[in-house]
Amino acid sequence: MKDFAEEGNDAVLMTRMAEYVVAVELNRPYARNAVNGDITRGLSAAIARTEADPSCRVVVLKGQGSSFCAGADLKEIAAGNRHLLVTQSGGFAGFVYAPRTKVWIAQVQGPALAGGLELALACDLIAASEMASFALPEVKRGLIAAAGGLHRLARAVPVAKAMRLTLTGEHIDAATADAWGLLALLASPQQLERQTFELAEKIAANAPLAVRESRALVSKVGEMPLDQILDQTQKARELLAKSHDLREGALAFIEKRKPNWTGT
């Protein structure tokens, strides 16, 4: 899988980290990876390519340089280009509301602010360095975190903590974010890349169809009534019961070998 740089968009780079793991990197370190039109187009294209690639099971989203993402590029907004920062299907950055079936892990090495935190919250898991920080400072500018930040943060951490963060606009450090339950992984700056990759590999080693259905169900918690979740769970069980991977998983266990998943 080649970099987007080869296609004329060097704001988002896409590389294969391993057989089933792809990295998508925001590449505007001079602007703290703030979202402009190029990043929006690049992320939208990255989703399309990873969704279409059957060998891609996990995607790691990261930022080049010392920041994960500072949110929307205010220069673009000041220039009247706010429309370039959204897409009809994906919302902000072409990403936060885009339909996805692959697992995305946000690898946050530094500040994830405003729309940057919303990008991380739109991923399935957040892995962070001890040097990371998080904030939704929109209220300080007369705005709200309208790109999913409000409801996703309230689902990810206790409501009182989400209320505090959104109403004060204050920053929290990585240790606080971990204590609140926002993070799936907290690592030293030196170990973040390796530990995030190890997490991605653990997920990618499992049955793709089971991972897909499990991800979809967990992501709906808090968004739909319990009876609907139970109905969706039963449908997933019926789908998996007919799958090749279910039979393969049982056979591999009996034969004491590594499963050969097909995702079917």
CB 56 within 8 A of CB 100: no
Name, in order, each residue with C-beta under 8 angstroms of 14's C-beta and a sequence gap of 6 or more: 1, 2, 3, 4, 22, 23, 24, 25, 46, 49
Closest by CA position to 215, among listed 58, 24, 44: 58
Q: How far apart are CA 254 and CA 248, in angstroms?
A: 10
For the question of residue 118 being annotated catalytic, the response is yes
**Alpha-carbon distance 14 to 212, whole Å?**
22
Structure tokens at 230: 């139970």
Marked catalytic residue, from 76, 138, 193, 213 = 138
Which member of 118, 130, 201, 248 is catalytic?
118
Half-sphere exposure of 199 (CA within 13 A, CB side): 23
Q: Which residues are tagged catalytic?
A: 118, 138
